[in-house]
Structure 1
Amino acid sequence: MTTLTSTSTFELSKANFFTLLERRINEKGDFPALSKSIQNLRQFIHDEERNIAGIANAILSDFTLTQKIIKLANSGLYVEADREITTISHAVAVLGLDTITSIALNVRTIDTPAAAKTESSAVCAELEKAILASDIAKSIVSKSNVANGEEAVVCTQLHHLGRLILVFYFPEEWSRIQQLSGGDHGRENSAALEIIGMTIDEISNDIARNWQLPEKISGTVTDPSPLSHINGLGSAGWVKMMAGFSRRMAALLVKNISPQSLKNFISHHSEALLIPHEVIWRSIESIQNKTGKSAAHFDVEKADDVWDKPRKRIAVGLLELSIALGRGIDFKSALNIALETIHDSMRFNRVIVFFRDGEEFKAGLYFGNLNPEKMADLYFSRQYTADVFHLSLTQKADVFIQDVTLSRETTIPIWFRKTLPDANAFILLPLVFNNSTIGIIYADWRAGQTRVIKPREFSSLVMLRDYLMKALMK
Structure 2
Amino acid sequence: MADVPPLSPQATPAPRPATAPSPANWGRFSLQRILGQGEHSVTWLALDPRLGPAPGREVALKLPVIHKAADAAVITRWVQHARRVSHLVHAHVVPVLEADVLEQQPYLVYGYLPGQTLASVLAQRGALPAAEAVALALDVLDALAAAHAAGMLHRNLKASNVLVDATGRAQLLDFGTATLVDGAPAWLSPEAAQGDITTPQSDVFAVGLLLAEMLAGKPLLDAGDPDRAKYRLAHEQLAPAADLGPDVNTSLRAIVARALAYDPGQRPPGATALRDALLAWSEATARGDSGETSDDVPGKKTLDALLARMRHKSDFPAMSDSVARIQGMANSETESISSVTNEILKDVALTNKLLRLVNSAHFAARGGSINTVSRAVSLVGFNGIRNMALSLVLLEHMGDKAHANVLKDEFLRSLMAGSIAVELCAVQRESEEAFIGAMFQNLGRLLAEFYFPNEARTVRGLMASTHKPIAEAAAAASVLGVGYEALGVEIAKSWGLPEGIQRSMRKPRGEPPLHPPVVVEERTRWIAMAANEIADILLRSPTAEAPLRLAQVAGHYSRSLGVSPAEVRIATVAARKKLIEMAAAMEIRVVAGSGAAQLLQAPEEAPDPVAELPDALAPLALQATPPADGSAPATPVHSVADILTEGIQDITHAMVEDFKLGDVLRMILETMFRAMHCQRIIFCMRDPKTETLTGRFGLGEGVEGVVKPFQVALKPSGAPDLFSAVCLKGADTMIADATEARITERLPAWYRQQIHAPTFLLLPLVIQNKPVGLIYADTATKGGLGLDEKELALLRTLRNQAVMAFKQNS
- TM-score by structure 2 length? 0.30
Q: More helix by proportion, 1 or 2?
A: 1
TM-score (norm 1): 0.49
Q: Which protein has greater RCO, CA pairs closer than 8 Å, 6+ apart?
A: 1
